[in-house]
Amino acid sequence: MIEIKSIDKPDERRDFPRGHLDVVEMTGLVFGRATFEPGWRWTESVKDLSGTDLCQVHHNGYVVKGMLHVRMEDGSEDEMGPGDAFVVSPGHDAWVVGDEACVVFDFAGGIGEYAKGAGI
């Protein structure tokens, strides 16, 4: 089997304040490209869509450009930038650092439900 889709022609685009998510769904993979503009913060831009206080999606990803700061529910925090691969567990807030948009690729299955509602 060979299956190819372009993220530039996503199956779905989800817009939210100061950002959007492009999603392609393939056999065994949901792939997302998130673009977060300067000033984007999960608790301000996506929280109302999710109905939860913190993001409850597990993320496996890669930062293409920009900087993102993540704070976990337990208070631990870190920053990621271009070239960083990452795993972030559910129960976090995140925000863009600086004046450049942050573009992230996400390979985790949960991204298929991100910014859709129902606790995500």
**pLDDT over 70 (residue 118):** no
E strand or H helix at 48, and its extent? helix 47-50
- Report the percentage of the chain scoring pLDDT > 90: 82
For 46, the domain range is 12-113
In a domain, 1, yes or no: no
In a domain, 2, yes or no: no
Q: In CATH, what number is assigned to the domain containing residue 44? A: 2.60.120.10
Burial class of 27 by CB neighbour count within 10 A (0 to 12, 13 to 18, 19+): exposed
In a domain, 3, yes or no: no
Q: Which pLDDT band, with edges at 50, 70 and 90, does 62 fall under?
A: very high
**pLDDT over 70 (residue 47):** yes
| Higher pLDDT, residue 119 or 91 | 91
CA distance 94 to 88: 10
In a domain, 7, yes or no: no
In a domain, 48, yes or no: yes
pLDDT tens sequence across 32-42: 999 999 999 99
In a domain, 4, yes or no: no
Q: What is the pTM of this model?
A: 0.89
Residues near 1 by beta carbon (within 8 Å), at least 6 away in sequence: 27
- Number of domains into which the chain is organized: 1
Residues near 108 by beta carbon (within 8 Å), at least 6 away in sequence: 30, 57, 58, 59, 60, 61
In a domain, 120, yes or no: no
In a domain, 42, yes or no: yes
